[in-house]
């Protein structure tokens, strides 16, 4: 069930997801609160799990991870046990930065990040297919990102958050 958020909570979340390095004083100033009540709101949203983590986003190209692929995976036998095994295995694969269970002709969509095509080929053969659970893989190499964000569309829950 979704936590009830008011307009100030939504503004705080917008600021934090835009720049997690902002101080509580800066956030409080921008939302019209003093530091203590602002800090309490942030703490409450952390404790309830609305704020899962505050992270630093890296430029993958600047660190040499230029190759990105979306991979559709079909399991040989998509039952509960095999799905659990596959998901545990994927959890141990650092190249997989996202994994979603999907509907349709495939069972999973993976977002893979590696150094280059050769590293992806090695990953595909020696890691993903080596699980013994996969019957089909369809890869889509990303040529360029037209949009890349982790920010949630908070304007959908509060009209006080700007649409960006």
Is the pLDDT at 150 greater than 90, yes or no?
no
CA distances from 44 to 23, 31, 41, 88 (A): 17, 16, 5, 31
E strand segments, the chain: 67-75, 96-101, 108-114, 134-141
Distance between CA atoms of residues 160 and 105, nearest Å: 40
Note the pTM of the prediction, 2 decimals. Answer: 0.84
CATH 3.20.20.140 fits 67-141, yes or no: no
pLDDT of the residue at 2: 63
Cα of first residue to Cα of last residue in the chain, in angstroms, is 26
Looking at domain 7-56, its CATH class is mainly alpha
Distance between CA atoms of residues 74 and 54, nearest Å: 33
Please report, for the chain, the start and end positions of each structural domain, with discontinuous segments joined by +: 7-56, 67-141
Task: Grade residue 61 by pLDDT with cuts at 50, 70 and 90.
Answer: very high
- As a whole number, the mean pLDDT across the chain is 93
């Amino acid at each position: 069930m979704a936590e009830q958020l008011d307009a100030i909570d939504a503004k705080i979340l917008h600021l934090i997801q835009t720049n997690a390095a902002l101080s509580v004083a800066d956030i409080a100033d921008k939302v019209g609160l003093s530091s203590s009540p602002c800090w309490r709101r942030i703490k409450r949203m952390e404790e309830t799990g609305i704020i899962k983590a505050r992270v630093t986003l890296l430029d993958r190209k600047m660190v040499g991870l230029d190759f990105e692929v979306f991979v559709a995976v079909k399991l040989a036998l998509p039952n509960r046990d095999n799905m659990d095994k596959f998901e545990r295995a994927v959890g141990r694969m650092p190249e997989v930065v996202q994994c979603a269970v999907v509907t349709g002709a495939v069972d999973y969509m993976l977002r893979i990040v590696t150094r280059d095509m050769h590293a992806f080929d090695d990953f595909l053969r020696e890691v993903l297919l080596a699980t013994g659970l996969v019957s089909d893989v369809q890869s889509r190499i990303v040529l360029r990102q037209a949009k890349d964000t982790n920010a949630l569309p908070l304007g959908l829950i509060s009209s006080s958050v700007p649409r960006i």
